[in-house]
């Protein structure tokens, strides 16, 4: 990947900011996403100051609104000549009020929407650019925190709790990673998921009331490795616990559960599934 173009969602703080600063020092073009214009401009200025040779462009969208996700994908398709890598990093954590169930713009449970539906919709929207730029890599930032999805209550209308919703949404993201990897086999586009580091010092961890135990840089290294290391260039459809190819929650390997999830996902993002 010579001077690649990489899109990072949730780039204004935490892990996303750390990935942006690391990649900027390596050269290339960075497409930074955020939902707050002031913070997005600030991180873009920081990246440019850190690595003046890097090219930086910004894209504004609220990933809790699928219309904005799809509109951002359309803007990127129209403006960018290539896309070598996509890091789906933006996240809705457990929240500051874990017992208050929040909804997306389309009325879906917020964590499921931001952590699963939005990255899936973004990948689908950007597939023409990713495939034309192949070899290309998609890295989905998941979590070691995973909880079985109850298909009778996917949106957690019963017994809601923010961390439970987060863990279910991250498992959904991993399941979609495996499905996309299978679909894209042979295209030159790889799709992997990873748990970057345990309880990093991020706003989401602190907001939920947890005590950080690792610096953000500990999560940057394994994420950037999946984006840049030639040794994993052909690896796809895997879940990594930091640097280790690992086993995700058992439900991720249940073909029937993955099929149910993807049928629901396609319906919610407005895309037909298998001609249906």
CA–CA dist 220, 178 (Å, integer): 22
CA–CA dist 120, 115 (Å, integer): 9
CA–CA dist 6, 85 (Å, integer): 5
For residue 227, how many other CB atoms are within 10 A of its CB? 23
Encode 90-105 in three state secondary structure: CCCCCCCCCCCCCECC
Tokens read off for 195: 């748990």
**Active-site pick, 59, 120, 160, 166:** 166
To the query of whether residue 166 is one of the catalytic residues in this protein, the response is: yes
CA–CA dist 237, 272 (Å, integer): 22
CA–CA dist 105, 125 (Å, integer): 19
Phi, psi (5° rounding) for residue 212? -60, 145
Instruction: Find all residues with CB under 8 Å of 240, minimum gap 6, and list them.
Output: 192, 193, 194, 195, 222, 226, 246
Instruction: Find all residues with CB under 8 Å of 190, minimum gap 6, and list them.
Output: 135, 136, 137, 138, 181, 184, 233, 234, 235, 236
| Alpha-carbon distance values, 55 to 10, 25, 27, 45, 136 (Å) | 18, 11, 8, 11, 19
Quick check: 113 and 101 in contact, CB under 8 A? Answer: no
- Active-site residue set: 166
């Amino acid at each position: 990947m010579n001077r690649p173009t990489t899109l990072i969602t949730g780039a204004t703080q935490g892990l996303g900011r750390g990935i942006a600063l690391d990649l900027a020092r390596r050269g290339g073009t960075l497409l930074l996403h955020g939902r707050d214009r002031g913070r997005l401009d600030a991180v873009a200025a920081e990246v440019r100051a850190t690595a003046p040779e890097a090219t930086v462009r910004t894209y504004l969208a609220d990933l809790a609104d699928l219309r904005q996700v799809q509109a951002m994908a359309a803007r990127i398709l129209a403006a960018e000549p290539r896309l070598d890598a996509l890091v789906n990093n933006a996240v809705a954590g457990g929240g500051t009020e874990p017992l208050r169930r929040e909804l997306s713009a389309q009325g879906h449970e917020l964590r499921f929407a931001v952590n699963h539906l939005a990255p899936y919709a973004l990948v689908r929207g950007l597939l023409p650019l990713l495939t034309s730029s192949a070899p290309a890599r998609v890295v989905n930032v998941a979590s070691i925190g995973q909880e079985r999805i109850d298909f009778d209550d996917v949106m957690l209308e019963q017994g809601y709790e923010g961390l439970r919703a987060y863990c279910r949404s991250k498992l959904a993201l991993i399941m979609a990673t495996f499905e996309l990897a299978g679909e894209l086999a042979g295209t030159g586009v790889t799709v992997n998921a990873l748990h970057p580091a345990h309880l990093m010092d991020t706003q989401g961890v602190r907001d939920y009331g947890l005590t950080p135990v690792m610096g953000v840089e500990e999560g940057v290294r394994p994420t950037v490795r999946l984006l840049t290391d030639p040794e994993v260039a052909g690896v796809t459809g895997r879940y990594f616990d930091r640097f280790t190819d690992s086993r995700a929650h058992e439900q991720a390997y249940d073909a029937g559960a993955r099929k149910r999830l993807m049928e629901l996902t396609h319906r919610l993002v407005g895309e037909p599934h298998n001609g249906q």
